[in-house]
DNA sequence: AACCTTCCCTGATGGC
DNA sequence: TGCCATCAGGGAAGGT
């Protein structure tokens, strides 16, 4: 479950490695994740240079010379980079070693591969295929035409208390559900929602009308802190998430509530509880986070 | 309009 | 040991 800190970790590492590289070839496999005709993708990418990588919420934005390549990792998406030291190794394109054929089966879950002219490879792997890949013409204004429903971007100038409070007006859903809504604050997922609510000492099932203003302010303040901490540790690896070098993150060792059902709260030793909200496992300390 | 539920997808896990 | 049900959840779509 890559959330903002995981996508940002990938963005930073990849930006260093692939910025300026020119694409030699692109190969697509699982049609479902492509939001455009894969043949168009395979035809459009070769020859283009990677200008830079950006991020909006959980979306990774690859800025090319003539297009925007936008990648969402969904639940189990992985984006990894490998440079085959020197050897030209054409046989190792995953497309040429499909399952059932003789020879090395690289990985049936790799759905998209970019090979650069210097021989480096970028792989998109996604077991559950919840990920999505978009290709937009550079003329498209991303903020006005693509990210139209996207909420406040943490760490940006638009992340201000007045806007944060304004987006809560006339709403009365459970606070956890609000945090999962990408139209509120962009980039928060199940793990960091639970962690932020713990830091803000708010029970996840509280409806908005029962959340006091000082609590909302506290939530506004802890969200960037919680996300920043996740980035500092290179993201949270519970199952599938890996950094772009294939290594695990380390933030899972620093979680306060997520995945800690039955374990003692780090503040008060009360066992952490788990309930289901919005069809999502939800973890909290019943003593620190009162209803 | 706001809110909630269902569905997609596959591997890991637990009960019998 | 093998089989089947259940669980994990981001976000679109559908329902109230």
Distance of C1' in C1 from CA in A2, Å:
36
**pTM of structure:** 0.93
Smallest Cα–C1' distance to nucleotide B10: which residue has it?
A128
Residue A31: the pLDDT is 77
Buried-exposed string A44-66: b where 16+ CB fall within 10 A, e elsewhere: bbeebbbeebebbbbbbbbbbee
Distance of C1' in B8 from CA in A86, Å:
41
Distance of C1' in C8 from CA in A282, Å:
12
Distance of C1' in B12 from CA in A287, Å:
32
Residue A1: the pLDDT is 81
> What's the average model confidence in pLDDT over A192-197?
96
Token output for A280: 């999502």
Give CA–CA dist A39/A44, Å, rounded: 9
Residue A105: the pLDDT is 52
Strand C neighbours among A 61-100, CB < 7 A: 72, 74-75
Residue A276 pLDDT more than 80?
Answer: yes
Q: Which nucleotides of C are covered by protein (CB under 7 A)?
A: 7-11
Smallest Cα–C1' distance to nucleotide C12: which residue has it?
A130
Give CA–CA dist A252/A242, Å, rounded: 12
* Catalytic residue set of A: 2-3, 58, 280
Query: Shortest CA distance to A68 belongs to which of A181, A124, A156, A145?
Result: A145
Average model confidence (pLDDT) for chain A? 91
Question: Of residues A53 and A89, which shows the higher confidence score?
Answer: A53
Q: Which nucleotide lies nearest residue A183, CA to C1'?
A: C11
Beta bridge partners of A240: none
Q: Which nucleotide lies nearest residue A279, CA to C1'?
A: C9
Beta strand pairing call for A110-116 and A77-83: unpaired
User: What does the pLDDT look like over A252-267, one tens digit per residue?
Assistant: 999 999 999 999 999 9
Distance of C1' in C7 from CA in A119, Å:
40
Ramachandran bin of A281, using left for φ above 0, alpha for ψ from -120 to 50, beta for the remaining angles: beta
> What's the average model confidence in pLDDT over A158-172?
96
Structure confidence at residue A206 as a pLDDT band (50, 70, 90)? very high
- Could you tell me if A176 and A207 are in contact, meaning their C-beta atoms sit under 8 angstroms apart? no
Residue A87: the pLDDT is 42
Structure confidence at residue A280 as a pLDDT band (50, 70, 90)? very high
Q: Which nucleotide lies nearest residue A72, CA to C1'?
A: C10
> What's the average model confidence in pLDDT over A178-193?
96
Query: Shortest CA distance to A282 belongs to which of A135, A154, A179?
Result: A179
Give the rounded percent of residues in chain A with a pLDDT score beyond 90. 87
Q: Residue A58, CB, less than 7 Å from strand C?
A: yes
Give the rounded percent of residues in chain A with a pLDDT score beyond 70. 92
Structure confidence at residue A139 as a pLDDT band (50, 70, 90)? very high
Residue A291: the pLDDT is 86
Q: Residue A230, CB, less than 7 Å from strand C?
A: no
User: What does the pLDDT look like over A73-125, one tens digit per residue?
Assistant: 999 999 999 987 544 444 344 443 333 444 445 688 999 999 999 999 999 99
Residue A30 pLDDT more than 50?
Answer: yes
Residue A96: the pLDDT is 37
Residue A264: the pLDDT is 95
> What's the average model confidence in pLDDT over A206-218?
96
Give CA–CA dist A224/A218, Å, rounded: 11
């Amino acid at each position: 479950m890559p959330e903002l800190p995981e996508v940002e970790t990938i963005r930073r590492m990849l930006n260093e490695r692939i910025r300026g590289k020119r694409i030699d070839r692109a190969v697509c496999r699982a049609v479902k994740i492509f939001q455009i005709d894969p043949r168009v993708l395979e035809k459009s990418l070769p020859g283009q240079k990677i200008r830079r990588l950006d991020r909006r919420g959980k979306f990774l934005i690859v800025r090319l010379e003539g297009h925007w390549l936008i990648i969402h990792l969904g639940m189990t998406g992985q984006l990894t980079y490998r440079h085959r030291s020197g050897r030209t190794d054409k046989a190792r394109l995953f497309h040429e070693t499909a399952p059932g054929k003789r020879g090395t089966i690289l990985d049936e879950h790799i759905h998209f591969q970019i090979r650069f002219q210097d021989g480096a490879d970028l792989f998109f792997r996604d077991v559950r295929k919840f990920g999505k890949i978009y290709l937009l013409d550079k003329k498209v204004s991303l903020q006005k035409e693509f990210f139209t429903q996207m909420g406040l971007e943490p760490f940006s100038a638009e992340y201000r208390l007045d806007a944060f409070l304004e987006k809560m007006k006339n709403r009365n859903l459970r606070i956890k559900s609000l945090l999962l809504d990408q139209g509120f604050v962009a980039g928060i997922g199940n793990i960091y929602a639970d962690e932020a609510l713990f830091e803000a000492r708010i029970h996840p099932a509280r409806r908005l009308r029962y959340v006091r203003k000082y609590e909302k302010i506290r939530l506004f303040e802890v969200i960037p802190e919680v996300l920043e901490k996740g980035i500092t540790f290179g993201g949270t690896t519970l199952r599938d998430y890996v950094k772009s070098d294939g290594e695990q993150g380390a933030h899972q060792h620093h979680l306060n509530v997520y995945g800690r059902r039955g374990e003692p709260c780090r503040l008060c030793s009360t066992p952490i509880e788990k309930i289901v909200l919005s069809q999502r496992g939800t973890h909290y300390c019943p003593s620190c986070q009162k209803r």
